[in-house]
Structures are given as structure tokens and as C-alpha cells.
Amino acid sequence: MQLTLEKGPRKSTPFLGGILEFQVGHLYNETRRKIFRYTRSMKTFRSYFRVTLQYEGDEEHTPYVFDVVKRENESNVEIKPESEDAKKIWSLPASPPYQELTAAIAAVYAQDIENP
């Protein structure tokens, strides 16, 4: 699945006595149909970026939360599911949602985190 990222505004919220800044945006498929809404932290927390994905058509607005990092001298992005819904999907690596979320995280990393 080839996805194209479109950044929205950067936002901020009070968090643990400070301010947490995050990027908001959308991911589109090849036909420019909006597939995901995403947010990602502007700074790392415990060396990871926090990425949250939501399917655009999901009326329940289920958040799939991941910690994402690319280690030095490694080519792949390390993805750790953090929310219960993300963990359920991650236990089924052959499933279409796993493939879609993996592609979405790769797009966020390549098109936003590496190229802010």
C-alpha cells in the first residue's frame, strides 16, 4: 500500500508540567482517498516517537498507538504497539490491518519524522 502524507497544523497541550507538541495530518492512498488520520510527537519520549493512527472511516475513532524509533546503523523502523487495540492487531501479522498500519507507520516515519 503506497501512502502519501499531508501535514496539518502542529498542536500543543499541557503535559506533566510542560507542553507536549505534536504534528497532526492525514495519509492518502494512490487515488487520494483519505485512509488514516495521524498524530505524532515532535520530540522523543524514552528515545521513541509516539505515533497514533485512526482509520478515517472508523466511527468509533479507535486509536492505534505505537512507539516508533529507527536505531543507528539499522535500516528498519522499530515499532512497539502501546494501546490494547494496536497490540491485538500486532498479534496477527498476516492480517490486512497489520499490513495497513505497518505501511502507515512507515509513511509517517519517512515523510514526516525523517523530513520534518
In this predicted structure, what is the pLDDT of residue 70? 79
| pLDDT-based confidence at residue 110 (cuts at 50, 70, 90) | very high
Domain ranges of the chain: 4-113
Q: pLDDT digits over 18-73, tens only? A: 888 999 999 999 999 999 999 999 998 888 999 999 999 999 999 999 999 977 77
User: What digits encode the pLDDT tens for the residues 86-109?
Assistant: 999 999 999 999 999 999 999 999
Average pLDDT over residues 73-87: 89
pLDDT band at 74 (very low <50, low <70, confident <90, very high): confident
**3 state SS for the chain:** CCCEEEEEEEEEEEECCEEEEEEEEEEECCCCCEEEEEEEECCCECCEEEEEEEECCCCCCCCEEEEEECCCCCCCCEEEECCHHHHHHHCCCCCHHHHHHHHHHHHHHHHHHCCC
